[in-house]
Structure 1
């Protein structure tokens, strides 16, 4: 019991961070649901506009993906279920076997309309709710009208009361760059001291970066989509597109760094220290740190480019490790594609980045 309580206390900062990061989405959902309820209840005169409220909540959700397209797909799935069920109610009425008919028809029609399974499940779920609830005052399709209002409000709120897409993207970027910074430090120490344990730790950290890359990609995709439709965020679109470029080439660079790290992990442990390669990786790590700072301050991007260019000019095994055996020089050669990817993340084209490497 004491052990479990200790774990719960240790997990408290993560729980608080998760709750805090969710606040923009919560505010957006609260605003949308309240507006949808007010329109359905006070403007349309519907006593209990259940579907006007629930469709806003289910359409917006708490996921990272808050793109208008995803919101529209979720809203459409709910509306399909409501409208189909109200049509079926006019034809077959209510009852046990009618519930099965509603589920069958909504699932088949939804799968015909789209490949997205979530769309079909939302349609069937809402259909069953419509079937089981008492009929509202006002006649057929009152619930459909409420659902339509809720979906429209969700889409409008996505643009007018957006979550903080730029802030979320920057937070994802910072988490990834923090892992990379720690990885470079471990690799430098591993090479300087012939420390296999540190190389193992670096490789473990790199293997854990893919979820961070995926989170950043999802956040950026959502942020770019919202910024294209939101009048308040359109000015941030260039910054987000630059971030997307950094992410694209950083993803490639991380893949190359994993290959380099695996090579280091299997090469060291022979009692030899490799300060030359450690210096190269240390310089690369500092340049990556400057690239991380350019996420918040674009004026620092040239500093990262210059630092990486300086590393690139040194990537000649004959200069870095003169007279070394082939197995040693391979480590230097393996850094070349890594540095090219990082240079491209700073804004260079492939040919420009490649030209900064010495001929070998």
Structure 2
């Protein structure tokens, strides 16, 4: 019997876990879409009385299948796109008949009309596909028909209704799941960089930098989750009470992304400091570690819908420690790290909910208490 390599077993288990995780994350979306498709058919067929309202469940599925956070806009684009496609198709096919040339002309004119109206690719796609569908499946025999447009409108509205009223996502749960990896990689990376500085372990810092560079996708998914959560909190009455806590995420996401970029520059310079044999004063190590703790507290306090007071306190502590390190004397790379600590501290204080002027004033005061200020020009460095 052939033995299965252990690495293959581990890789297979990891893939299986990842796929099961994705299923769990999208289970509610699948349930929403299935319920919406069935309800759309029921309303169009049994309530409105259309014999074969195939556009209704299609519209419901498309409305819920587009990028979460854009469903309201996409629903309107869907309805108007279908309206344009059907209108152009009905008029032309009724006048000039059916055939390959007529279908090509209908599609071209539907796209031109959608572009003239002005909107995104969804409207253009729906205009063209709707023209094709009705031209080939149900060509008109008794003049212009409005039933397919009504079906599309029913499907779009049912899709939005299911999302907003029947099975609305919890906005804070959606954002919290996305924030955990986005903020976690920065928090752990900064703390590990502090340990690497203390141990003068360049390879460890290099590994941190690689993880931070790979985390842009996590930041992008956090922004997408915020967009989705904001949409749900606006449309779903049962989720309106989450809007206050959600606003903290909205305010903090941009500054957390900036903190990640500043953190990458900091780690790059930590690697240079180790390679060049520069001194890393204990206060410098403590400053970087305090930044990591600040990010940890930011994730925790946002998840618990609390004002990020502990995050702010740790960020100011980091600025103070950086000032102490600068006053004690650091080399060129050390001064860049000090400047990056200061910049990242401002980002985190901003993420905690303070206005720009107040955040800069508090960080400046924290650094000033230490008896030294780094040169601002030291922080100007590319993030390759």
TM-score by length of 1: 0.91
Residue 171 of structure 2 corresponds to residue 155 of structure 1? no
**What is aligned with 2:222?**
216
Deviates most, 23-32 or 151-160: 151-160
Q: Distance in 1 between matches of 2:244 and 2:254?
A: 15
Change (3 A) 1:150 1:179: same
Q: How far apart, CA to CA, are the structure 1 residues paired with 2:155 and 2:142?
A: 18
Question: Could you give the per-residue CA deviations for residues 262-285 of structure 1, whole angstroms, max 9, x where no partner exists?
Answer: 222222224556243222111211
- Unmatched runs of 5 consecutive residues or more in structure 2: 374-384
Distance 1:160 1:152, change over 3 A: same
Q: Aligned in 2, Cα 1:299/1:96: closer, same or farther, shift over 3 Å?
A: closer
Paired positions, count: 359
RMSD (Å) for aligned C-alpha atoms: 2.5
**What is the aligned partner in structure 2 of residue 314 from structure 1?**
321
Alignment counterpart, residue 73 of structure 2, candidates 59, 69, 72: 69
Residue 253, structure 1, aligned to residue 259, structure 2: yes
Distance in 1 (alpha carbons) for counterparts of 2:94 and 2:343: 66
Note the C-alpha offset of 1:217: 1.0
Unaligned runs of 5+ in 1: none
Deviates more, 1:2-11 or 1:284-293: 2-11
> 1-side partners of 2:93 and 2:267: how far apart?
63
What pairs with 1:232-251 in structure 2 (closer than 5 Å)?
232-251=238-257
How far the C-alpha of 1:45 sits from its partner, in A, is 2.1
The alpha-carbon deviation at position 86 of structure 1 amounts to: 2.5
Q: Which residue is equivalent to 2:381?
A: none
Q: Which residue of the partner structure matches residue 34 of structure 1?
A: 38
Cα deviations by residue, 1:184-206 (Å, 9 ceiling, x for unpaired): 23312221122221121111111
Separation in 2 of the partners of 1:352 and 1:134?
Answer: 64
Do residues 54 (structure 1) and 61 (structure 2) align? no
- TM-score norm. by structure 2 comes to 0.86
Superposed displacement of residue 251, structure 1: 1.2
Give the counterpart of 2:186 among 173, 180, 191. Answer: 180
Native 8 Å contact 1:199 1:261 kept in 2 = yes
| Separation in 1, partners of 2:61, 2:101 | 30
1:276 matched to 2:280: no
Residues 169-223 of structure 1 show CA distances to partners (whole Å, capped at 9, x for unaligned) of 1110011122113312331222112222112111111112221111111221232
> Which residue of the partner structure matches residue 341 of structure 2?
335
Equivalent residue in structure 1 for 2:130, among 122, 126, 130: 126
> What per-residue deviation string (whole Å, max 9, x for no partner) do you get for residues 63-107 of structure 1?
333442233223332333233322332222211111101111111
The 5 Å alignment of 1:95-106 reads 95-106=99-110
